[in-house]
Amino acid sequence: MSKKNEYKESPWLEFYDEEGIPTHIEYPDCSMVDMIIQSAEKWPDNIAYTYYGHKVTYKNFVKKIEKTARALKNYGVKEGDRVTICMPNTPEGIAMVYAVNMVGAICNMVHPLSSEKELEYYIKVAESKYVLTIDAVFDKIYRLRDTAQLERIIVVRPSDGLGFLKKKLYNTLHIKKVRLPSNDSRVVLWEDFIANSYFYQGSFYEERNGNDPAVILYSGGTTGAPKGVLLSNANFNTLGVQCTTVIKQAVPGATVLSILPLFHGFGLGVCIHTPLCKGMGCILIPAFSHKQFADIIKKNEPNFIAGVPTLYEALINTKLGPHDLESVTSVICGGDALNQTLRDKVNNYLKAHGSNAKIRVGYGLTEATGATCLSPENAFADGIIGAPLPDMTFKIIKNDTFKELPVGEEGEICISGPLVMMGYLNDDAENAQTLRVHDDGKIWLHTGDLGYLGEDGFFYFAQRLKRIIISSGYNIYPTHLESVINSHEAVLTSTVIGIDHHYKGQVPKAFIVLKPGYKAGKKIEREIRELLERNVPIYALPAAYEFRDKLPTTLVGKVAFKKLEAEEKAK
């Protein structure tokens, strides 16, 4: 095909040519951990990660992975098993990801702030018998030991990843510790788990290829109920190669501020695995506080900052000196739309504090390994998400059809290419709805997002087809909250919408209609709140509740949630 025809079918390829980006890349057919081993062979003395100032080289990181893999084998983990990782960004969390991969098992990544009911679902749907958890949520996991038939719970303390002196100081200052049962062999502290690895002397490395499953992450799919997204070695390795090819500043030795969590597609895919594929360093931040942002930047001098819009709201309100951002060469925003006002503020802030970087907007979803598209560094317009990564194809289709729409016309964004998931876990109906074979014979991921292809050859995001609230980068699904609220004996119906929040972007608000005979008041509101607390994560809890006699409806009798949204906007 001539370049002229290529540009006509895929106009973003002209941008590739201008930037020297290849249209096609050869990807390694190996496991995720193989990519880290290769990095250690090329750059053994580069820093793989920094954790509160404690630095670990690639050479030593691979040793830590191998020791963790040996420990897993010692405790009976086999090829194909699912190991649940319920952790923030700590050295133990990322070592476990690659150790699980090394023994040929599959990582089941879950949010530590998930409710007990959600944790039970995540563990059961993945058929996971082994859990790695931070001590702060141990009690929730331990209560599931019998119902989820857990064989082993490995408990990490936040100080485990620190150097000897810092660990000793931390444990001295943080006297309060989670009490663990002394007579339950299913529970083991991380340090004992690792120490016991010496009892296993057999093989702990299983050769796996790109098409083998590697990670389960969780998404709301198109309906809002939690769904396991099964991703392969190739999904993550492809992302690592694509991102470090497209972003010229991604060079060995550069550092990435890894704030987005490893149970998040963007966090694990872009902020952890991608830099580790290229000999870069991850600055692990297990719990982000905007009050500590200035200290984090000054102490670590990161080259890359990647985050959601709320992170950049925090950045522009951080007190830094005129040279404190000189180290920053690349700034990427994903997880939610970035408006032009915030974009301009961020760029001005970067310049005023010594950085020549300009914020770039990425677009992705868990079902496509967290990132699929990136805007050019010097191009911005409202809604721009840019050009698909190499070997990825986007098209805009008319809703409920496979008909591709012309330039400038809004429709559903569909994605095809090597970043698309293997499928939802144990959910054939949702797979059939989301992964569809079009007339060209390719499998296309239907995103549930509306957008269009611009005259400039770049893609633009318009709005979401599915109901979703994005709060500080986390996806919250109104239908899931509604199903929990409606299960209360006093509730006739409910609707949840997103309302504006000055920092988080949006937060949920619940509108509730009670059954006849029940009266609205603090008691019922408290019961509903407690019901939600048992069934949804903390970040998804409604910020406000409003009881009404009835809710507005459309002509076909459905709740007119858009009318409620308009009412809230008008307040």
Two tokens at 361?
Answer: 């907007």
Q: Residue 3 above 70 pLDDT?
A: no
* CA dihedral sign of residues 125, 128, 129, 135: negative
Three-point CA angle 547, 549, 554, nearest 5°: 105
Task: Convert the pLDDT of each residue in 411-425 to its tens digit.
Answer: 999 999 999 999 999
Residue 442 burial (10 A CB sphere; 0-12, 13-18, 19+): middle
**pLDDT (mean) for 321-347:** 90
Model confidence at 555, in pLDDT bands (50, 70, 90)?
A: low
In this structure, the strands spanning 152-156 and 187-189 are: parallel
Q: Residue 165 above 60 pLDDT?
A: no
471-570 CATH fold: GMP Synthetase; Chain A, domain 3 (3.30.300)
Model confidence at 382, in pLDDT bands (50, 70, 90)?
A: confident
* CA dihedral sign of residues 163, 169, 174, 179: positive
Two tokens at 136?
Answer: 């702060």
Q: First and final CA of the chain: distance in angstroms? A: 56
Two tokens at 255?
Answer: 């550092």
Burial 226-236, CB ≥16 within 10 A → b, else e: bbbbbbbbbbb
Model confidence at 244, in pLDDT bands (50, 70, 90)?
A: very high
H or E stretch at 360? strand 359-363
Calculate the average pLDDT of the chain: 90
Q: Residue 470 above 90 pLDDT?
A: no
Q: Which of 158, 40, 146 is nearest to 93 (CA)?
A: 158
Tokens 């000189």: give the residue: 326
**pLDDT (mean) for 514-522:** 89
* 61-219 belongs to CATH 3.40.50.980: yes
Q: Which amino acid is at 305?
A: I
Tokens 């914020």: give the residue: 359
Q: Residue 1 above 70 pLDDT?
A: no
Q: Residue 359 above 90 pLDDT?
A: yes
Higher pLDDT pick, 541 / 377: 541
Two tokens at 348?
Answer: 């001005």
Q: What's the rounded Cα separation, in Å, for the pair 149 and 201?
A: 28
**pLDDT (mean) for 138-152:** 95
Q: Which of 351, 152, 127, 373 is nearest to 228 (CA)?
A: 127
Q: What is the percentage of the chain residues whose pLDDT exceeds 90?
A: 67
Q: What's the rounded Cα separation, in Å, for the pair 126 and 130?
A: 11
Q: Which of 344, 407, 417, 332 is nearest to 9 (CA)?
A: 407
In this structure, the strands spanning 54-57 and 459-464 are: unpaired
Model confidence at 158, in pLDDT bands (50, 70, 90)?
A: confident
**pLDDT (mean) for 324-337:** 90
Beta strands in 179-267 (DSSP E): 187-189, 213-219, 227-232, 255-258
Domain residue ranges of the chain, discontinuous segments joined by +: 61-219, 471-570
Task: Convert the pLDDT of each residue in 178-234 to its tens digit.
Answer: 678 888 999 999 999 999 999 999 999 999 999 999 999 998 665 567 799 999 999
Q: What's the rounded Cα separation, in Å, for the pair 95 and 61?
A: 8
Q: Residue 62 above 60 pLDDT?
A: yes
pLDDT given at position 168: 46
DSSP conformational letter for 78? -
Q: What's the rounded Cα separation, in Å, for the pair 46 and 55?
A: 10
pLDDT given at position 504: 84
Higher pLDDT pick, 151 / 180: 151
Q: What's the rounded Cα separation, in Å, for the pair 91 and 285?
A: 10
Two tokens at 42?
Answer: 């090329």
Residue 451 has φ and ψ, to the nearest 5°, of -165, -170
pLDDT given at position 14: 87
Q: Going by C-beta distance under 8 Å and a sequence separation of 6 or more, which residues neighbour residue 396?
A: 404, 405, 409, 410, 411, 412, 413, 414, 451, 452, 453, 459
Q: Model pTM?
A: 0.86
